[in-house]
Homo-oligomer: A and B are copies of this chain.
Amino acid sequence: MRGFIALRPYGFAIWELIQAEFNKRFKATGHSNAYFPLLIPESLLVKEAEHVEGFAPEVAWVTEGGSEKLTERLAIRPTSEAIIGPLYSQWIQSHRDLPVLINQWCNVMRWEKATRPFLRTREFLWQEGHTAHATQREAAEEAQRMLEIYREVAEDVLALAVIIGRKSESERFAGAQATYAIEALMPDGKALQAGTSHEFGQNFAQAYDIKFTDVDEQVKHAWTTSWGVSWRLIGGLIMAHGDDRGLVLPPALAPHQVVIVPILKKDDESVLPAARRLADVLAPVARVKLDDRPDQSAAWKFNEWEMRGVPLRVEIGPRDVAAASVTIARRDTLEKSTVPLASLASALPAQLEQIQRSLLARARDYLAAHTIEVSERGAFVDALKRQAGLVLAPWCERAECEADIKAETGAVTRVLAGKAAAGERCAYCGGPAKVKAFFARSY
């Protein structure tokens, strides 16, 4: 079915590692996981006007249950604000009940017309955090805190270079007062939105009646946020680091960080036992896979594990055993080196760390090299049409101007990057510039 993917064990293991990295950070910042219903009655979805306007065109509707027509259509959640809001309304009565800091890992559905594996699928796996606070300041801090966690995981775990900032009015989440995002740049010059964090102000609290009695005994609406990342991150990984041989996985997310490939020769009985001992020795310091399948050649296995992106390959043959050394090959640089068997375990963590850092450095170099600052219309339009990368330009911040830019170039703002200098003009329409903004075509 178009727009649906099955995530096989190797891919799902990457997703589980991504989940673990986020869960660790969500927990450290006081959040708990929970689970909310898949289906949202239409009467709840419509309560926040902008929200339903934004999501209704993409909703998959359940209209029959068993042999009966339902009296009300039920939306498969495209996001869960509309089912969580009414529950928070029941759960929150007093300032003592706040903040509510909950995250959910689940599947959601958006009936997209154009789909693309991982990047734009009709069903996708994601996490959505939903929080409620007593004050605007706390909600604003929460939205920034989670955005910072997204940046940290993107850079330190996925080795993606990202820009970070607020979205324009046209690009923000339906119903949000402010949406913040991290965006990565892909090798084809398109941007990938990789995580978003929203401040809702009191919009959703008003729509869903989330109220609390404050310390001053006044009844007030809560301030809410939501924030999410999806398996689109896997798509970002594949595109950002992959090469002609296949995947290149950062060690932090590699299901197998090291693969040991024994090079088996006829009449040799030393290699396989040595490879097994090595796997045992390395197991405490890294996620190690010993590929001892008898039916495939070593060369076939080299290809296979390169395609699957394993960061380090250890080759061990009769001569290595005799010399008490092994050959190691880095997936990212394809460099080979010889390492004494006895020191491999102690050298491994630093090796993996270096690959991790090197991937991020490469991604940062790429991002820097493909970020172009322009202030003049010809250069602005040309860079966007050429899909040259991120185009930073002074901008008037008018939705009509953004729509015109999109019509001419296919690009929109990705994030805003701070105020324009006094007197600067919008690079596209020539009106007074309010902000600097990053523009790009995107997935």
Contacts and interface: CB of A to CB of B under 8 A. Distances in A.
Contacts of A59: 65-66
A12 B35 contact: yes
Contact of A6 (B6, B7, B34, B125): B34
Contact of A111 (B41, B66, B106): B66
A338 interface: no
A65 B57 contact: no
Q: Name the interface size band of chain A.
A: 35 or more
Interface string A11-27: 11101100000000000
Interface in A44-64: 57-64
- Most chain B C-beta atoms within 10 Å of own C-beta, residue among A9, A96, A109: A9
A83 B7 CA distance: 13
Contacts of A60: 39, 62, 64-66, 74
Nearest to A231: B35
B38 A123 contact: yes
A254 to B, nearest CB: 15
Contacts of A62: 60-63, 76
Q: Quickly give the copy total for this chain.
A: 2
A39 B1 contact: yes
Contacts of A9: 32-34, 102
A295 interface: yes
A218 interface: no
Contacts of A96: 295
A87 B59 CA distance: 26
30 contacts: A1-B37, A1-B41, A4-B37, A5-B37, A6-B34, A6-B35, A6-B36, A6-B83, A6-B87, A9-B32, A12-B33, A12-B34, A12-B35, A13-B33, A16-B33, A37-B123, A57-B66, A57-B67, A59-B65, A60-B64, A60-B66, A61-B62, A61-B65, A62-B63, A62-B76, A63-B63, A64-B73, A65-B111, A96-B295, A106-B107
Given A7-B35, A64-B73, 19 more contacts: A1-B39, A1-B41, A4-B37, A4-B39, A6-B36, A6-B37, A8-B91, A9-B102, A11-B34, A12-B33, A12-B34, A35-B125, A39-B123, A59-B65, A60-B62, A61-B63, A61-B64, A66-B113, A96-B295
